[in-house]
């Protein structure tokens, strides 16, 4: 995988399988200013994973019952809790609280 943009940016080397994957990134951070380090991963939900399409059942506030969830996004912040977001076919992002 090559960095985005004009040839600038972090070096990324994904490896592994769908069940077990790793990624490496190199970056430069300021030694004189505060820095915030976050990592985001988005996973598609596919029918081949077992039970077919995933539809909201009304148990998650913000999701409409019967709305199809196509992806999960996980955001991790150093020293803080992870955040899970459902991405729907209609393009909505619903944060799980």
Average pLDDT over residues 55-68: 72
Query: Residue 31's pLDDT is what?
Result: 94
Q: Please, what's the b/e burial string for 42-80 (b: 16 or more CB within 10 A of its CB; e: otherwise)? A: eeebeeeeeeeebebeeebeebeeebebebbeebeeeee
Q: What is the pTM of this model?
A: 0.61
Give the tens place of pLDDT for each residue, 1-26. Answer: 233 333 444 555 555 566 677 778 88
Average pLDDT over residues 47-66: 67
Average pLDDT over residues 56-74: 77
């Amino acid at each position: 995988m090559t960095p985005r943009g004009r040839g600038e940016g972090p070096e990324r080397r994904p490896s592994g399988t769908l069940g077990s994957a790793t990624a490496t990134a190199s970056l430069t951070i300021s030694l004189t200013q505060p820095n915030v380090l976050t990592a985001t991963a988005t996973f598609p939900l596919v029918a081949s994973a077992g039970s077919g399409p995933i539809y909201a059942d009304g148990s998650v506030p913000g999701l409409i019952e019967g709305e199809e969830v196509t992806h999960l996004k996980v955001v991790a912040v150093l020293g803080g809790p992870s955040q899970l977001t459902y991405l729907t076919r209609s393009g909505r992002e619903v944060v799980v609280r």
